[in-house]
């Protein structure tokens, strides 16, 4: 008769395989269950895996006791065990992008603050900061104030919006405890327009805790001291921050003179005719928009280019533009005119020409379509 199976005579290999699916809480429970499970749960392999997953540790470091290494991390960052991985990865993506493309912005990033500094900041404003926000500021304490915003820039004519990520002290010093912005704290600021994105720290504000918003005054009702409206730029700090890092990782935005131009390029919005390629990127401008009356302002950035290997005989000059602008309700506006922004770019092999313009809608969304007319410099033919 075969001996009954019990934990003591089960080989290590199958138990280690089972334990490879366990989380740190399960491993701790196994350590407390019995001597046999304790011995298996102490295996360095399991704690190394958890250190790599939660704290993004790599094989490049030398650690003799991975369990104690995990515990040391947990004592310092345990509050953020469910968000550290995502926030740290987002910061790594941002750092990799700006170190290469935006050195001035990279040099403005500050070292993180301690847990004690964050708690003191909460006590000062009498509000709890979202864990993802705290975790982010443990890693980096925003920017030293410059004119190149980490969170992107948009320019149109004389209007510039660049979003600097505020350091903790500046953010909490400007926390609002009264008025239309009560229970809100700025986390970005434009030094030119003084436009800020705000972090909502209480649902008593009428908005969701942790949302990131742009305030916009209701132009029709300001004289009656009515409340402000808000455009939501993120349903949580975590979503807001991580989505931006992912955009940088995907090279969604262009970099011009060391600044991140935060206009979204739609891959399908590309047209090529007679060797001329036209692409477009767009951005919503909340600080130039209102909800009541409905006025939604957009910037678009168009780039024309001719490939280096094109025949020089195809060189041409822009003559006219034609746009059909349609809002969400189907109402159309047509725009016809010479050139673009007062210019008539000449396109030759390797030439690139870009310009910025704008449009507005009475509805939250809309679309533009149209054509450019060029004249061939050799044949005078239009296309």
pLDDT in tens, 21-69: 999 999 999 889 888 888 888 999 999 999 999 999 987 788 889 999 9
Q: Of 205, 155, 197, 181, which is closest to residue 286 (Cα–Cα)?
A: 197
Question: Which residues are CB-neighbours of 279 under 8 A, at least 6 positions away?
Answer: 265, 269, 270, 302, 303, 305
Q: What percent of the chain has pLDDT over 70?
A: 96
Q: Of 53, 151, 50, 139, which is closest to residue 88 (Cα–Cα)?
A: 139
What per-residue confidence (pLDDT) applies to 222? 41
What per-residue confidence (pLDDT) applies to 354? 95
- Beta-carbon neighbour count of residue 346 at 10 Å? 15
List 359's β-bridge partners, or say none: 298
Q: Which domains occur in the chain, in start order?
A: 8-80 (1.20.1280.50), 84-246 (3.40.1580.10), 263-376 (2.60.40.1470)
Going residue by residue through the chain, which has 383 residues, state the pLDDT in tens, using 9 for 90 and above. Answer: 556 667 777 888 888 898 889 999 999 998 898 888 888 889 999 999 999 999 999 877 888 899 999 999 999 999 999 999 999 999 999 999 999 999 999 999 999 999 999 999 999 999 999 999 999 999 999 999 777 899 999 999 889 999 999 999 999 999 999 988 999 999 999 999 899 999 999 999 999 999 999 998 664 444 445 568 899 999 999 999 999 999 999 999 999 999 999 999 888 889 999 899 999 999 999 999 999 889 999 999 999 999 999 999 999 999 999 999 999 999 999 999 999 999 999 999 999 999 999 999 999 999 999 999 999 999 999 99
Alpha helices in the chain (DSSP H): 12-19, 24-33, 35-41, 44-54, 66-77, 84-101, 103-108, 115-125, 131-139, 168-173, 237-249
| 190 vs 197: CA distance, rounded Å | 9
């Amino acid at each position: 008769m075969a001996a009954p199976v019990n934990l003591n005579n089960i080989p290590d290999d199958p138990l280690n395989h089972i334990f490879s699916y366990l989380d740190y809480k399960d491993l701790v429970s196994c350590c407390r269950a019995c001597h046999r499970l304790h011995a298996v749960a102490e295996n360095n392999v399991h704690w190394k895996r958890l250190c790599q997953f939660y704290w993004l540790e790599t094989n490049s470091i030398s650690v003799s006791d991975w369990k104690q290494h995990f515990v040391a991390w947990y004592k310092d960052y345990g509050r953020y065990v469910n968000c550290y991985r995502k926030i740290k990865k987002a910061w790594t993506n941002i750092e990799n992008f700006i170190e290469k493309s935006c050195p001035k912005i990279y040099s403005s990033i500050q070292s993180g603050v301690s847990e004690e500094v964050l708690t003191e900041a909460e006590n000062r404003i009498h509000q709890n900061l979202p864990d993802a926000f705290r975790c982010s500021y443990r890693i980096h304490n925003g920017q030293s104030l410059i004119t190149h915003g980490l969170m992107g820039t948009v320019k149109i004519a004389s209007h510039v919006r660049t979003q600097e990520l505020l350091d903790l002290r500046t953010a909490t010093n400007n926390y609002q405890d009264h008025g239309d912005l009560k229970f809100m704290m700025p986390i970005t600021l434009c030094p030119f327009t003084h436009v800020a994105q705000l972090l909502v720290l209480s649902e008593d504000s009428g908005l969701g805790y942790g949302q990131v918003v742009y305030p916009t005054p209701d132009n029709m009702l300001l004289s009656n001291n009515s409340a402000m409206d808000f455009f939501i730029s993120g349903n949580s700090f975590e979503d807001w921050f991580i989505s931006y890092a992912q955009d940088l990782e995907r090279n969604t935005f262009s970099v011009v003179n060391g600044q991140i131009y935060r206009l979204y390029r739609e891959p399908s919005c590309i047209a090529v005719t007679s060797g001329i390629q036209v692409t477009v990127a767009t951005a919503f401008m909340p600080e130039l928009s209102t909800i009541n009356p409905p006025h939604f302002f957009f910037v678009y950035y168009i780039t024309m280019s001719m490939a280096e290997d094109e025949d020089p005989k195809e060189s041409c000059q822009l003559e006219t533009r034609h746009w059909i602008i349609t809002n969400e309700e189907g109402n159309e506006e047509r725009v016809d005119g010479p050139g673009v922004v007062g210019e008539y770019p000449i396109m030759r092999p390797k030439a690139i020409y870009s310009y910025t313009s704008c449009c507005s809608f009475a509805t939250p969304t809309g679309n533009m379509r149209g054509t450019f007319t060029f004249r061939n410099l050799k044949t005078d033919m239009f296309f």
